[in-house]
């Protein structure tokens, strides 16, 4: 299953300078497809994956809510006009002041994973609904979110009990199986743990009404560090999720609703960068080997932050079909980490690539803008544009900018 890049290519071809382009129709279609795969699920888009106002507004208009990590993201979410009931404070790490600010903004749903956080919530967000986050191993994901968040099943029951005793509403459980999760087994495991904790909480008289299945659903167009397409088993994941949700409903003593906090999955394949070649060089380094290096106008610090685990899909529209050489791809700054990890063979690039030639970088819509520095070495953040691209029935034509 590969994303259809055709519509984005039209917009990339129309771009005259470096920028990141988001295809709002593609994002909407992705959102609709997700809802049809997982009927009844309520989406809380993880804002950090793409904190771009137009993208957020488009998701909010479609019915999505937001997973926000603090008062600043909450304020940005509210500017889309989304009802505050659809904003979830999904960060387990919060100060007293952040809790109080979120509460003053009207947020009532909070993730938690510790007794200390529950005590702070009881004081600064009285009566709030809390979701206890369960720890996961992060196995099978490119970025496991294992150590920093979540607690054991036993502690989860303690945390929920403490929340109830402190006058909060123990409302649910949450998990995150790790970002760009590539296995359905990780979901299976998480769902098994969720079922066990729901049953134990029920036995202690705690009725939970929600399960938040978190993020982790993959981008389809991503390449690994060797340049190999990842082909995540998305259909299998959806099957596991549908069956798991049914199982949890049966395990629960009361009615259960489901939230999902996708980030990457909704936006990654619908964002692309128009960059340009800074220079293609060939050098003999200290080991004696000659190698080609292709330096791009953007890199780790302005658009391609995830080059530690990914290779990005590159296209050279002015060199289609031309002879290539294998090169290491790197960004323009004076930092040696600003380069693909480059395991295995290099990335094929046109032998005649010249300074200034356009380069298209596909499937880079997730975590691109949020991970951009303010101007490391003076290289500015990429400007962005949002397009509505050629939906058959769309009144706005190909590449039409809004
Ligand atoms: C980052 C994050 C997400 C989104 O993760 P993806 O892998 O991009 O789907 C969801 N929930 C929480 C709490 C997060 O921190």
Residue to substitute in 43, 49, 365 for testing ligand 1 pocket (most ligand atoms within 8 angstroms of CB): 49
| Per-residue model confidence (pLDDT) at position 106 | 98
Could you tell me how far CA 135 lies from the centroid of its own chain?
19
Distance 333 CA to ligand 1 centre (A): 29
Q: Please say whether the beta carbons of 50 and 263 come within 8 A.
A: yes
| Nearest-CA residue for atom 1 of ligand 1 | 46
**250 neighbors 17 (Cβ within 8 angstroms):** no
Within 6 A (CB) of ligand 1 lie 46, 48-49, 67, 90, 176, 179, 214-217, 261-265
Cα–Cα distances in angstroms (integers) from residue 52 to residues 17, 27, 73, 128, 368, in the given order = 19, 12, 11, 28, 10
Q: Residue with the nearest Cα to atom 3 of ligand 1?
A: 215
Reading the block at residue 273, the tokens are 């960068």
Residue 180: partners with Cβ closer than 8 Å, 6 or more residues away: 141, 142, 143, 216, 218, 219, 222, 230, 232, 264, 309
Task: Tell me how far apart the alpha carbons of residues 149 and 373 are, in angstroms, rounded to a whole number.
Answer: 25
pLDDT at 398: 35
What are the backbone angles phi and psi of residue 174, rounded to the nearest 5°? -140, 160
Determine which residue's CA is closest to atom 5 belonging to ligand 1: 215
Q: Are 88 and 261 in contact (CB under 8 A)?
A: yes
CA-to-CA distance for 2 and 222, rounded, in angstroms? 10
What is residue 391's predicted lDDT score, i.e. its pLDDT?
55
Which one of 27, 46, 234 would you pick to mutate in the ligand 1 pocket, going by the greatest count of ligand atoms within 8 A of its CB? 46
Q: What is the pLDDT of residue 289?
A: 87
What's the gap in Å between 263 CA and the centre of ligand 1? 6
Q: How far is CA 379 from CA 292, 332, 336, 360, in A?
A: 23, 8, 15, 18
Question: How far apart are the CA of 309 and the centre of ligand 1, in A?
Answer: 17
Which tokens is 45 given? 């888009």
Report how far residue 173's alpha carbon sits from residue 163's, in angstroms, rounded to the nearest whole number: 13
* Ligand 1, atom 13, residue with closest C-alpha: 90
Instruction: Report the pLDDT value the prediction gives residue 341, as an integer from 0 to 100.
Output: 83
Ligand 1 atom nearest the C-alpha of 49 is: 8
Q: In a 10 Å sphere around its CB, with 0-12 CB exposed, 13-18 middle and 19+ buried, how is residue 368 labelled? A: buried
Cβ contact 292:281 at 8 Å: yes
* CA distance linking residue 86 with residue 74, whole number of Å: 11
Give me the pLDDT at residue 395, please: 37
Relative to the CA of 48, which ligand 1 atom is closest?
Answer: 1
Question: How remote is the CA of residue 180 from the centroid of ligand 1, in Å?
Answer: 10
| d(C-alpha 398, C-alpha 8), whole Å | 9
**CA pair distance 389, 26, nearest whole angstrom:** 8
Kindly give the distance from the C-alpha atom of residue 87 to the centroid of ligand 1, in angstroms, as a whole number. Answer: 14
| Distances, alpha carbon 117 to alpha carbons 18, 101, 110, 364, in Å | 43, 15, 10, 35
Nearest-CA neighbor of 359 among 6, 20, 7, 2? 20
Pairing state between β 358-362 and 271-284: antiparallel
- Ligand 1 center to residue 33 CA distance, Å? 19
User: Ligand 1 centroid vs 179 CA: distance in angstroms?
Assistant: 7
Per-residue pLDDT tens, the chain, 402 aa: give them: 688 899 899 999 999 999 999 999 999 999 999 999 999 999 999 999 999 999 999 999 999 999 999 999 999 999 999 999 999 999 999 999 999 999 999 999 999 999 999 999 999 999 999 999 999 999 999 999 889 999 999 999 999 999 999 999 999 999 999 999 999 999 999 999 999 999 999 999 999 999 999 999 999 998 999 999 999 999 999 999 999 999 999 999 999 999 999 999 999 999 999 999 999 999 998 988 889 999 999 999 999 999 989 999 999 999 999 999 999 999 999 999 999 987 778 999 999 999 999 999 999 999 999 999 999 999 999 999 999 975 544 433 333 433
Distance CA 307, CA 310 (A): 5
User: What does the alpha-carbon distance between residue 402 and residue 396 come to, in Å, rounded to a whole number?
Assistant: 9
Which of 333, 324, 285, 343 has the alpha carbon at shortest distance from 305?
Answer: 333
**Index of the ligand 1 atom closest to the CA of residue 141:** 7
Distance from the CA of 396 to the center of ligand 1, in angstroms? 32
pLDDT at 260: 98
Do residues 92 and 149 lie in contact, with contact meaning Cβ atoms separated by under 8 Å? yes
Which secondary-structure segment (H or E) carries 284?
strand 271-284
All domains of the chain in start order, with CATH? 90-262 (3.20.20.10), 269-400 (2.40.37.10)
DSSP 19-33: EEEEEHHHHHHHHHH
The predicted model scores a pTM of: 0.95
């Amino acid at each position: 299953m590969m994303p259809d890049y055709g519509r984005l290519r039209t917009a990339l071809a129309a771009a005259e300078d470096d920028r990141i382009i988001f295809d709002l129709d593609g994002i909407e279609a992705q959102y609709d497809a997700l809802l049809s795969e997982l009927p009844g699920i309520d989406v809380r888009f993880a804002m950090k994956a793409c904190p771009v106002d137009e993208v957020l507004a488009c998701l909010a208009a479609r019915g999505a809510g937001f997973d926000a990590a603090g008062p600043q993201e909450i304020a940005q979410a509210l500017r889309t006009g989304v009802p505050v009931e659809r904003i979830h404070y999904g960060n387990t790490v919060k100060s007293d002041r952040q809790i109080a600010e979120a509460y003053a903004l009207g947020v009532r749903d909070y993730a938690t994973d510790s007794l200390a956080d529950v005590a702070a919530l009881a004081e600064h967000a009285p009566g709030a609904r809390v979701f206890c986050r369960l720890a996961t191993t992060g196995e099978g994901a490119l970025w496991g979110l294992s150590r920093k968040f979540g607690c054991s099943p036993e502690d989860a029951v303690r945390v929920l009990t403490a929340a109830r005793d402190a006058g909060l509403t123990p409302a649910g459980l949450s998990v995150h199986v790790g970002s760009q999760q590539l296995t359905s087994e990780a979901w299976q495991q998480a769902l098994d743990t969720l079922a066990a904790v729901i049953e134990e909480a029920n036995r202690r008289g705690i009725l939970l009404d929600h399960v938040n299945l978190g993020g982790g659903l993959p981008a389809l167009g991503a390449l690994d560090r060797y340049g190999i397409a990842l082909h995540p088993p998305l259909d299998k994941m959806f099957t596991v999720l549908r069956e798991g949700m049914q199982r949890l409903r049966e395990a629960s003593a009361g009615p259960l609703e489901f939230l999902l906090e996708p980030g990457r999955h909704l936006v990654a394949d619908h964002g692309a960068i128009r960059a340009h070649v800074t220079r293609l060089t060939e050098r003999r380094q200290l080991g004696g080997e000659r190698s080609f290096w292709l330096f791009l106008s953007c890199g780790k610090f302005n658009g391609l932050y995830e080059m530690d685990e990914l290779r990005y899909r590159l296209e050279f529209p002015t060199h289609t079909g031309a002879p290539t050489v294998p090169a290491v791809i790197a960004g323009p700054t004076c930092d040696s980490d600003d380069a693909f990890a480059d395991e295995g063979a290099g990335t094929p690039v046109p032998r005649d690539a010249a300074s200034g030639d356009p380069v298209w970088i596909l499937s880079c819509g997730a975590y691109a803008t949020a991970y951009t520095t303010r101007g490391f070495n003076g290289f500015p953040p990429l400007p962005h544009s949002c397009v509505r691209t050629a939906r058959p029935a769309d009144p706005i034509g190909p590449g039409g900018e809004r």
